A and B are shown apart, each in its own frame.
Chain A
Amino acid sequence: MRGNVRGQGDLEIQGRVEGDVNVDGDVTVGEEAAVRGNVTGAEISVAGTVQGDLRGSEGVLLERGARVVGDLSAPRIGIAPGALVRGLVRTDGEPALGSPQAQRRASAVPSLRAVPTSAQRPFVAKEAPRATVSERPLPLERPAPPERAAAPAQPERPTVVERSDQPAARREKEAPPPPVVPVLAKGAKAKKKRRED
């Protein structure tokens, strides 16, 4: 079929269509079907080849054999494993990062990478997550509890420089379990040398 399809009701395409499809009902593109043009409908389900945009007012579903080159736009989009897509996928009206909690969580992730220094890493690995005084119990920050307990009121993450200021003092205060690798505190090298002598 070469031309435009427009109408009310559902449409099932099992052959080849070259042109735009615009119906107000559901559109099913069969496995052997090939559509070259935009498809607009309520629920669009694709199992064949589409070269064009898919705009569903209710949802777009790409099944296993689907091969789509074009944008997907719908409030609900499903892409089954095995489907091939190349294009922009847009679910309009998604409040993904709307709440302040979510925003803080998002900003906390990159600073975490700066937290564990080489001196403190074995520490962090051995220690069980403690209940910290921090105001937001974010799961991502558990691996570094000693730092958290010392600075609960700070809204932004303390930098690495700050933390390494008094590592020895902090460790003595909290009596942590003995680490696998001995952490070199100040003067440890000298002590070790004395022992060997």
Chain B
Amino acid sequence: MATVIGEGLSIEGDLTSNEDVAVHGTFRGKLTTDDTVVVGATGAVQADISGSSVSIAGQVTGDVTASERVDLQAGGRLVGDVRAGRFTIADGASFKGNVDMEM
């Protein structure tokens, strides 16, 4: 993971990257990357996320756009719309929003 937002860290703003981003802390704003986004179990994101592949195990409030796939893990909570070619929701996850698989 190139960029790691640790558990005790709180970031407010626009984050732009061309590498992997892992969020284990609090992030509010906008997250855009060309690569993978991982929201850890302790992560709390209040932002629109855009990446190639997004994996959510924590809390995300915002729209998620992925060029490849979005995976919502068990224990994850997602409130927002999803736009991706592939989308999986694990058993035990919470989700509220619209899904558009770009058909």
A residues neighboring B (CB under 8 Å):
1-11, 15, 18-19, 23
Chain A residues contacting B12 (CB-CB under 8 Å) are 3-6
Report if A9-B8 is in contact (Cβ < 8 Å); known contacts: A15-B3, A15-B17. Answer: yes
Closest CB of chain B to A160's CB: distance in Å?
A: 66
Question: Are A6 and B13 neighbours in the complex by a CB distance under 8 Å?
Answer: no
Assembly CA distance A30 to B27 (angstroms): 22
Report if A9-B6 is in contact (Cβ < 8 Å); known contacts: A3-B12, A15-B17, A19-B13. Answer: yes
The tally of CB-CB contacts under 8 A between chains A and B is 47
Assembly CA distance A5 to B14 (angstroms): 11
Chain A residues contacting B15 (CB-CB under 8 Å) are 1-3
B residues neighboring A (CB under 8 Å):
3, 6-17, 25, 29
Question: Are B11 and A9 neighbours in the complex by a CB distance under 8 Å?
Answer: no
- 23 sampled A-B residue pairs with Cβ under 8 A: A1-B14, A1-B16, A2-B13, A2-B14, A3-B11, A3-B13, A3-B29, A4-B12, A5-B9, A5-B10, A6-B9, A6-B12, A7-B6, A7-B8, A7-B10, A7-B11, A7-B25, A8-B9, A9-B6, A9-B8, A15-B3, A15-B17, A18-B13
Closest to B28 in A: A3
Report if A4-B11 is in contact (Cβ < 8 Å); known contacts: A15-B3, A15-B17. Answer: yes
What 8 new A-B contacts, CB under 8 Å, besides A7-B9, A9-B7?
Answer: A1-B15, A3-B14, A4-B11, A5-B9, A11-B6, A11-B9, A18-B13, A19-B13
Closest CB of chain A to B16's CB: distance in Å?
A: 7
Closest to B11 in A: A5
Closest to A16 in B: B16
